[in-house]
Structure 1
Amino acid sequence: MRFAAVDIGSNAVRLLFSEVYTVKNKPLLKKITLIRLPLRLGEDAFSRKNISEEMAVKLEKAFVSFKNLCEVYNVVSYRACATSAMREALNGEEIINKIKSSTGIKIEIINGKLEAELIYSTHVAEEIDEKGCYLYVDVGGGSTEITLFNKGKIEDTCSFNIGSVRLKNDLVTKETCIEMEEWLKQIKKKYKPDMAIATGGNINKIYKMCNLKDYALLSVKQLKEKCDYLEKFTVEERIKKLGMREDRADVIVPACNIYLAVAKWIEIKNFFVPKLGLADGIIYNLWQEQQKKGA
């Protein structure tokens, strides 16, 4: 069965089309096409509290293309979710309604808890120890979503307006940083999580740069070394010498610093990087819903 998902993030919009096979009552996902559009809606939403007309038009065009691709790929079902930038933009609902009117596609604005649940639905914890106690950390462009999973259940979750795009543009307040630090220290004291599961495009890039094998842990030391290495280059040098995309090159160091701060405050030494994201979680969730229908 084929499914499609859209993740409308603060830094980029991702359109994912996947074939999902059912093997021993479990989903096996095979990506058909992944389209990444560096719209960076957060640049508008966080500084001006509105998404510009230009970006709104581009987003609408992206959804027209998405609708056509759904027909071409003959997908069983699809789902589109928006996170921090669309949550914060004063004209977010207006844009969503316009896209719904022109394409028939309904966009859901989701909170950090649901975002974490969707990614957790990919059975990411099965690759380590599902019965353990883990901190799930997703650093996006606009926010950092942190969830405490204990024995497969969510014990606590919180969303902080600390993201790579925000940090790059000096839009993160000292009060928000203190709030996140205090929350993490309370979590550490109460639950003592074994490690952190880290997701996000920037941590995936760092993982790739470290040449680690699938499911190998990324140590905080390795993350710090790569962050220090990248800081030696200007954004332009990261693009030209390291081959990074422009919209990755200017946010990767701020993102690394957020992960490092989490590691420091929670006192962990390793990150598990499953290289999965919200779009993957949406696909798995769509498969689960289809299974319930008895398809």
Structure 2
Amino acid sequence: MKLAIIDIGSNSVRLLLATYENNIWHYEPKQLWTTRLGQRNSDGTLRTESMEASYQAFTEIKKLADQYGVECCFGFATSAVREASNGLEFMEHVSEHCPMEWRILTGDEEAIYGFNGALGDQLNDGRHYTTIDIGGGSTELALGNKDGVYWSRSYPVGAVRLQSMSDEGPQRVWEETRLLWDPMMIQGEFGEFIGIGGTLTTLAAIDLGLENYDGTKVQGHKLSRETVEGIILNLRYMSRDERLQVKGLPAGRADIIVAGAEILTSFMDAYEVPHVFVSDQDGMEAMARECKRTYSNH
């Protein structure tokens, strides 16, 4: 069975092509298109240019899905679309460019899918884990164990949303977000903090100095608080051209990575987290597994 999962985020539209065969999943490397749906008009609506860039992406995704032989195509939208008054209208147009089933996720749903996708079989050890997903428009936390997520939060802070605040000065994002985080009630033996999403995977790729992104190398990479601070200090005063020379930093994230990393340090300080382990797998893999179950039951 061949699936296409499309994540319609605030910074980018991402595609995961997956095959389920002989009880084994085969995931192709994720592909992304930077569309910046999170940079909305002053009234909060999605901008025409961001929607047009997204429609172009969906046209290309349809072509790739057809070539792959996809039987089921599913899209999910997150904070940019769920907060925009024209988000529903935008999603209705999406299917004209790439026919798919789709949903607009709540912040809680986004947190839970991310947790399930990142941890999967790791939960069999019985320990409790927390995932942090710093996206373009929002940041999701989820805490749970093999029995599921029992605490989750979605905060309206993201790398696109706080970019201009970050540009104001080195402490601005930290000051704005340091009191944001709610107490986390861990109900058993704790394992690790797991980081997912574009900010975290990009920081891992930078730390690893990857010429080309490789999810297998990013998977499980340990990022310490000191390492993240070092990346922020290194990038903050670089010009865009200088940032484009940094290994592991894609052009579509060059201007927002510092803001995203500052949200991460704020989180790590609030919960006294010395390090996070990065997962290349996230809500897209969880969505693929759910689609397969739904499809199989038809």
Cα separation, 2, equivalents of 1:61 and 1:123: 29
How do 1:166-185 and structure 2 match up within 5 A? 166-170=161-165, 177=177, 180-181=180-181, 183=182
Output one character per residue of 1:173-232: Cα deviation in whole Å (capped at 9) or x when no partner.
Answer: 999736623x1xx21587785431110112112212333774243222222222222224
CA drift at 1:15: 2.0
Judge which range, 214-223 or 161-170, deviates more: 214-223
- Runs of 5+ unmatched residues, structure 1: none
What displacement does 1:20 show?
Answer: 2.6
- Which of 142, 148, 160 is matched with 2:155 structurally? 160
Written as runs of structure 1 = structure 2, the 5 A alignment for 1:11-30 is: 11-23=11-23, 27-30=24-27
CA distance 1:192–1:224, change in 2 (3 Å): farther
What's 2:51 paired with? 56
Residue of structure 2 in register with 1:83 after alignment? 78
| Kept after mapping to 2: 8 A contact 1:162/1:176 | no
Partner of 2:213: none
Deviation at 1:241, TM superposition (A): 5.0
Match of 2:235 in 1: 230
Instruction: Give the total of aligned pairs.
Output: 285
SS at match of 2:162: helix
Distance, in Å, in 2 between the alignment partners of 1:153 and 1:66 is 32
Q: Which residue of 1 aligns with 2:288?
A: 283
Secondary structure of residue in 2 paired with 1:287: helix
The answer on 1:122 being equivalent to 2:117 is yes
Letter matched to residue 66 of structure 1: I
Change (3 A) 1:220 1:95: same
Structure 1-normalised TM-score? 0.83
Tell me what 2:107 maps to.
112
**Is contact 1:119–1:282 with CA below 8 Å preserved after alignment?**
no
Q: Distance in 2 between matches of 1:62 and 1:248?
A: 17
Deviates further, 86-95 or 191-200: 191-200
- Shift in Å, 1:276: 1.7
Q: Is the 8 A contact 1:160 1:176 kept in 2?
A: no
Moved more, 108-117 or 235-244: 235-244
Show the 5 A alignment for 1:130-141.
Answer: 130-141=125-136
1:68/1:240 CA distance change after superposition, 3 Å: closer
Match of 2:211 in 1: none
TM-score of the pair, normalised by structure 2: 0.83
1:262 is aligned to 2:258: no
Q: Which has the larger helix fraction?
A: 1
Structure 2 unaligned spans of 5+: 167-171, 209-216
Rounded to whole Å, the distance in 2 between the matches of 1:125 and 1:97 is: 32
Query: Is 1:40 aligned to 2:32, yes or no?
Result: no
Q: Residue 214 of structure 2 aligns with which residue? A: none
Aligned residue type for 1:204? T
| 3-state SS in 2 of match to 1:159 | strand
Partner of 2:132, secondary structure, is: strand
Q: Which moved more, 1:262-271 or 1:78-87?
A: 262-271
Partners of 2:9 and 2:248 lie apart in 1 by 23
Deviations 1:72-103 (A, max 9, x none): 32212121011011011121111122334565
Cα distance in 1 for residues equivalent to 2:123 and 2:189: 17
Q: Are the aligned partners of 1:121 and 1:285 in contact in 2 as well (CA < 8 Å)? A: no
Q: Are 1:227 and 1:253, in contact at CA under 8 Å, matched by a contact in 2?
A: yes
Q: Using the TM superposition, give the Cα deviation of residue 258 of structure 1 relative to its aligned residue in structure 2, in angstroms.
A: 0.9
Instruction: Indicate whether 1:10 and 2:10 are aligned.
Output: yes
Alignment of 1:208 with 2:205, yes or no, is yes
Question: Do structure 1's residue 99 and structure 2's residue 94 form an aligned pair?
Answer: yes
Structure 1 residues 69 and 176: alpha-carbon distance in aligned structure 2, compared to 1, 3 A threshold? same
* CA–CA separation in structure 1 for the residues paired with 2:179 and 2:193: 19
